[in-house]
């Protein structure tokens, strides 16, 4: 099929067949196509999605479907397979999904995604018996920065903090913009002591940032299930810790903790 040859970036059917001798480009369909449904001329293949490799090494997302093929005597002779390139469709869907879960300014998870992560971590903690921690961070004096230097510099300050949070994250952690000048960091399987070290690391990195204006954060910390039993009470405990710290140390350099 010339359309398939073109889709995969080859010049001819023979070139594609030669390149696919080890079933690297197009995996063996007998192992991937699900059992056909029905019988006779209505024999159908359930649509499935597979990854195929183009000649240039790019991966295509391909949807396969088809039906049974029969000879002139009505005997089943194989399948007619229809392959559709859905790479752009899946890329667009991933992009839209990312936009729905992300803060448009910082690129961090947004408020909606933060709540999803917290719910998932609470369920996991209840299942495994292992705690997790939540850091809430408030960028100090953002209003003064906006009033004195303008909102572009204020937005840049938010992005600077967001980048430092990303730099301090493990792959399993989730950094989020909770709203306005407030951020959150969810630390799975992390107790209070380890979370405090993360908070101090964030403050140290922000303190070493040479870009003007100088920035600082107030940090609140709460752990599940030690400090709370629900999303609401966990956020309340971390928020209470943050404002206790803010009241005691307006330009904080270490983490607070709810008691």
Mean pLDDT of 129-145: 95
Q: How confident is the model at residue 203 (pLDDT cuts 50, 70, 90)?
A: very high
- Is 181 an annotated catalytic residue? yes
Higher pLDDT, 129 or 88: 129
Q: What is the spatial distance between Cα 241 and Cα 22, in angstroms, rounded to a whole number?
A: 60
Dig out the tokens for 52 from the structure: 């195929």
Q: What is the mean pLDDT of residues 69-86?
A: 79
Q: Examine the pLDDT at 138 and tell me if it is beyond 50.
A: yes
pLDDT at residue 29 in the model: 52
Q: What percent of the chain has pLDDT over 70?
A: 85
Tell me: pLDDT of 57 over 50. yes
Q: Check residue 54 and give its pLDDT.
A: 83
56 burial (CB, 10 Å; 0-12 / 13-18 / 19+) is exposed
List the catalytic residue out of 103, 138, 181, 239.
Answer: 181
Tell me what pLDDT residue 41 has.
Answer: 47
CA nearest neighbour of 228 among 253, 198, 258: 258
Q: pTM for the full model? A: 0.65
Position 101 scores a pLDDT of: 78
- At residue 83, the pLDDT reads 81
């Amino acid at each position: 099929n010339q359309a398939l040859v073109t889709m995969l970036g080859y010049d001819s059917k023979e070139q594609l067949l030669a390149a696919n001798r080890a079933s690297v480009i197009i995996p063996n369909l007998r192992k991937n196509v699900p059992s056909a449904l029905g019988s006779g001329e209505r024999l159908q293949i359930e649509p499935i999605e597979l990854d195929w490799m183009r000649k240039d090494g790019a991966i295509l997302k391909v949807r396969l479907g088809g039906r049974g093929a029969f000879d002139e005597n009505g005997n089943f002779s194989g399948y007619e397979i229809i392959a559709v390139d859905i790479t752009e469709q899946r890329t667009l869907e991933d992009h839209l999904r990312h936009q729905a879960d992300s803060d448009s300014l910082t690129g961090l998870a947004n408020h909606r995604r933060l709540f999803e992560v917290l719910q998932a971590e609470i369920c996991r903690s209840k299942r495994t018996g292992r705690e997790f921690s939540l850091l809430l961070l408030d960028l100090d004096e953002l209003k003064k920065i906006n009033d004195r230097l303008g909102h572009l510099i204020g937005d840049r300050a938010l992005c600077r903090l967001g980048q430092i949070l990303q730099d301090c994250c493990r792959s399993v952690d989730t950094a989020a913009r909770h709203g306005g000048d407030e951020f959150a960091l969810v630390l799975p399987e992390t107790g209070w002591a380890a979370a405090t070290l993360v908070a101090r690391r964030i403050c140290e990195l922000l303190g070493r940032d040479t870009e003007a204006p100088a920035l600082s954060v107030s940090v609140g910390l709460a752990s599940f299930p030690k400090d709370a039993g629900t999303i609401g009470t966990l956020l309340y405990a971390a928020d209470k810790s943050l404002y206790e710290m803010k009241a005691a140390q307006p330009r904080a350099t270490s983490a607070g903790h709810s008691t």
